[in-house]
Structure 1
Amino acid sequence: MRLEAPASGDPRDVLRALRTAVLGAGPAVSLGAGADLPADVPPGTAAVVTTSGSTGVPKSVLLSRNALISSAYATAARIGEGAWLLAVPATYVAGAQVLVRALLADREPAVVAGPFRPEPFAAAALGMASHENGARVPTYTSLVPAQLQRLLDAADTDPTVAKALRSFEAVLIGGQALAPTVRERAETAGVRIVRTYGSTETSGGCVYDGVPLDGVEVALVDGEVRLTGPMLADGYLGDPARTASVFPSDDAGTRWYRTGDGGEVVDGVLSVTGRLDNVIVSGGVNVSLDRVEAAVRGIAGLESAVVVPVADATWGQGSAVVVPRPTPAADAVLLERVRAVVADAVGAPARPSRLVVVDELPTLSSGKPDRAAVRARLAQDPWV
């Protein structure tokens, strides 16, 4: 099958390309990559989504029509059908799936284009209001945690933004862990949050609030979360070795996706504990930086903090907490508070050794922190 990129990253161009690729006979659409991909892809491919590479080398993921459609229908079965607002980049899987859901519902999506700001988001959300057969059409959107936090901050003083957030039947939050303080603020504000877990390799979120969508199964193998279901990608374009490693088949012939995340399942609910490879050895003790970051983000004012590894002359490896201004306390006082919270939640060896306050955190176009850029900057310039 032929592979073509949309004319631009403009959401309307992506929507037109996906309409042909998902509902028609193709060609497949390339999202998030340059012009260096091969012109042909396997039959049945609807999209090739190149990942952001926030923690590693970018990979081009093959998504079939069946995978995208299965994911979209499973979402509708869990949260309902209605109209969708696109507020994340259309070239990422979360944005592409917003458009696929809209296409399958036969409803034109609302679009917030350009740099994300609360006011245009609110105007677009409130402009979606419509009725069908006398009943209000439910509305939905998908956001990353940083966007939700900005909206909640704006809603504190702008009743229009607050009303817009409450207007959605569900707001899907994915891309990274949601800080407990942000979740509590959303609940207090009357925002109906659904936390999603998944990746480009699973056509987006496939576990909602810890519960797999219909047709999705979760397994833990040596502490690693594995997922299977009709939403799985076909693999990585031009990389059969990586495909075989990341998508193994069991003895029954079922394909699984190795997420690289640690987790646990209690009463059928999945809890993800963090990346298995995001671990340092501090004084001979393994420390999950994802657990450290979760503890730090539970502190009011530090919901956007990023925790990255740094060299430590005493312990071999340590961690630094990088947080944008303003901070809720003087740096030295705040570091001691952070260390106390992390010691209580994770253990004394996990206590960060440094606190770095920056004017602005580097981010990817998806809105997620650019961890590679943070690590590189700390290695070259201590930012202090």
Structure 2
Amino acid sequence: MDLDPLPVPLGEDARSVLPRLRRALDGGGAVLPHVAGSPPPALPRFAAAALPDDLAVVVGTSGSTGTPKLAMLGAAALTASAHATHERLGGPGQWLLTLPAGHVAGLQVLLRGLDAGTVPVSVDLSTGFSPTAFAAGVRRLDPEHRHYTSLVPTQLVRLLEDPAATSALASLHGVLVGGAATPLALRRRAEAAGIRVVTTYGMSETCGGCVYDGRTLTGATVRIDDEGRVHLGGAMLAHGYLGRPDLTFGSFAVDPDGSRWFRTDDAGRVDEDGRLHVDGRLDDVVVTGGMKVAPRPVEEAAVEHVPGVREAVVVGTPDPEWGQAVSLLVVPEAGARPLSVVEVREHLRGHVPDHALPRRVTAAGAVPLRGPGKPDRAAVAALFDVRG
């Protein structure tokens, strides 16, 4: 089986790869997408004869647990993901591409276009993401179709600060938001503006999002193990990692009945209504004074209850007394008054447990990112300039 590098241009030329993606889905050789102008991912040694029969796309993971891996996605899994997405959103439609299609979230926008028989419209990202370019992209969508887009939370924040972009967002039939946790306050702000937000959870190993607003898509399944770890299963699962059977064995499991599961690195719980709540990565948990603090509830509380905070990221930083100190990075709104640690703690008191109140606070103009919209927590921790 062939495995061809597929450079995907930014902007309107991204749709030039649609014929090659269609051929890959139809069994005409797998592709390795990457952003045009950057080198394709380095390939490990692999036996071509051992590749899965329906392999269509090999896509890099975000590398959040170390060296990035290459997930092998089959045509059946990608098709199941696109079908289930359109089913959940109310029917096929035309998509606006706002993300680099070398990553799974952007690539899925192109694949959903193939599933719907529509040609996506692309936002020009060559000079960065712009609310003005986004609004112009929405105007180019065909009025004969339903309209969708996929964003990361930082993009949603920027669009909500621009009246024209906010109005354009509100005209869409569905706005997927994923790639990183979406603070509840941000979602409420978007919904108050009339935007149909759908939060997504998933990863490269599940063909992107497979849980929407806490509920699995058709064909997807979820379970939580005894340590609170999220496992995902069903039709959207990758075959494994290219050239790394050891990593495949460690991350994918098969039950006696034949069902396959992917072992995520996330902590979560399923409520009595069957809705999945993800509390963050297990290795992001801050252990302070012997108590565990999940970052996400503190981040959401900071955005909702601390005045002038637009975005927030919590990390643990070394502390001689507590082991780790809960450390809060905030991105302030324009013109917001700087707040002391004491003031931040008072605003958060009663909204998070006392042991989760931040002991260090710093501000930055933007959250350091890794991959499509994910906070780079190591870079955030470095902003505090403390040593153990």
TM-score clears 0.5 = yes
Distance (Å, rounded) in 2 between the aligned partners of 1:67 and 1:255: 13
Which residue does the alignment assign to 1:309? Answer: 316
Letter in 1 for 2:40: G
Which residue does the alignment assign to 2:15? Answer: 12
> Cα distance 1:105–1:258, how it changes in 2: closer, same or farther (>3 A)?
same
Residue in structure 1 matching 2:326, options 305, 311, 319 = 319
SS in 1 for 2:172: coil
Contact 1:68 1:203 in 2 (8 A): yes
CA-CA distance at 1:294 after TM superposition: 2.7
State whether structure 2 residue 152 is matched by structure 1 residue 152. no
Listed one character per residue, the Cα deviations across residues 47-86 of structure 1 (whole Å, up to 9, x for unaligned) are: 1111222453312111111111110001111112111110
The count of corresponding residues between Structure 1 and Structure 2 is 371
Unaligned runs of 5+ in 1: 132-136
SS in 1 for 2:237: coil
Listed one character per residue, the Cα deviations across residues 130-178 of structure 1 (whole Å, up to 9, x for unaligned) are: 22xxxxx2100000111111111112xxxx3233111110001111111
Letter in 1 for 2:75: R
Contact 1:343 1:349 in 2 (8 A): no
CA-CA distance at 1:256 after TM superposition: 0.6
Residue in structure 1 matching 2:133, options 120, 142, 146 = 120
> Cα distance 1:251–1:42, how it changes in 2: closer, same or farther (>3 A)?
closer
State whether structure 2 residue 238 is matched by structure 1 residue 233. yes
State whether structure 2 residue 251 is matched by structure 1 residue 246. yes
Listed one character per residue, the Cα deviations across residues 249-287 of structure 1 (whole Å, up to 9, x for unaligned) are: 122221111122222222111111222221222111122
1:196-275 paired onto structure 2 within 5 Å: 196-222=200-226, 223-266=228-271, 267-275=273-281
Q: CA RMSD in A?
A: 2.3
> Cα distance 1:352–1:17, how it changes in 2: closer, same or farther (>3 A)?
farther
Contact 1:31 1:48 in 2 (8 A): no
SS in 2 for 1:248: strand
Contact 1:302 1:327 in 2 (8 A): no
Distance (Å, rounded) in 2 between the aligned partners of 1:122 and 1:19: 29
CA-CA distance at 1:339 after TM superposition: 2.1
SS in 2 for 1:331: coil
Listed one character per residue, the Cα deviations across residues 212-253 of structure 1 (whole Å, up to 9, x for unaligned) are: 111111111112221111100111112212211211112222
Listed one character per residue, the Cα deviations across residues 324-380 of structure 1 (whole Å, up to 9, x for unaligned) are: 344733231xx2243235452332222211111123332235233322322345458
Residue in structure 2 matching 1:363, options 369, 376, 381 = 369
SS in 1 for 2:326: strand
SS in 1 for 2:168: helix
> Cα distance 1:49–1:2, how it changes in 2: closer, same or farther (>3 A)?
same
Contact 1:343 1:350 in 2 (8 A): no
Residue in structure 2 matching 1:294, options 300, 310, 317 = 300
Distance (Å, rounded) in 1 between the aligned partners of 2:191 and 2:297: 23
Contact 1:166 1:189 in 2 (8 A): yes
CA-CA distance at 1:16 after TM superposition: 4.1
Contact 1:285 1:349 in 2 (8 A): yes
Letter in 1 for 2:235: P
Contact 1:14 1:91 in 2 (8 A): no
CA-CA distance at 1:13 after TM superposition: 4.7
SS in 2 for 1:361: coil
Distance (Å, rounded) in 2 between the aligned partners of 1:273 and 1:330: 28
> Cα distance 1:30–1:110, how it changes in 2: closer, same or farther (>3 A)?
closer
Residue in structure 1 matching 2:187, options 151, 166, 183 = 183
Q: Decide which moves more: 359-368 or 252-261.
A: 359-368
> Cα distance 1:35–1:317, how it changes in 2: closer, same or farther (>3 A)?
closer
Which residue does the alignment assign to 1:37? Answer: 43
1:323-334 paired onto structure 2 within 5 Å: 323-325=330-332, 326=334, 328-332=336-340
SS in 1 for 2:133: helix
Contact 1:141 1:172 in 2 (8 A): yes
Q: Decide which moves more: 177-186 or 137-146.
A: 177-186
Unaligned runs of 5+ in 2: none
Letter in 1 for 2:117: D
Distance (Å, rounded) in 2 between the aligned partners of 1:208 and 1:96: 18
Which residue does the alignment assign to 1:141? Answer: 149
Length-normalised TM-score, structure 1: 0.89
Residue in structure 2 matching 1:95, options 92, 106, 113 = 106
Which residue does the alignment assign to 1:64? Answer: 74
Residue in structure 1 matching 2:358, options 349, 352, 355 = 352
Listed one character per residue, the Cα deviations across residues 116-135 of structure 1 (whole Å, up to 9, x for unaligned) are: 1011111111221422xxxx
> Cα distance 1:341–1:62, how it changes in 2: closer, same or farther (>3 A)?
farther
Distance (Å, rounded) in 2 between the aligned partners of 1:378 and 1:3: 43
> Cα distance 1:292–1:317, how it changes in 2: closer, same or farther (>3 A)?
same
Distance (Å, rounded) in 2 between the aligned partners of 1:304 and 1:55: 23
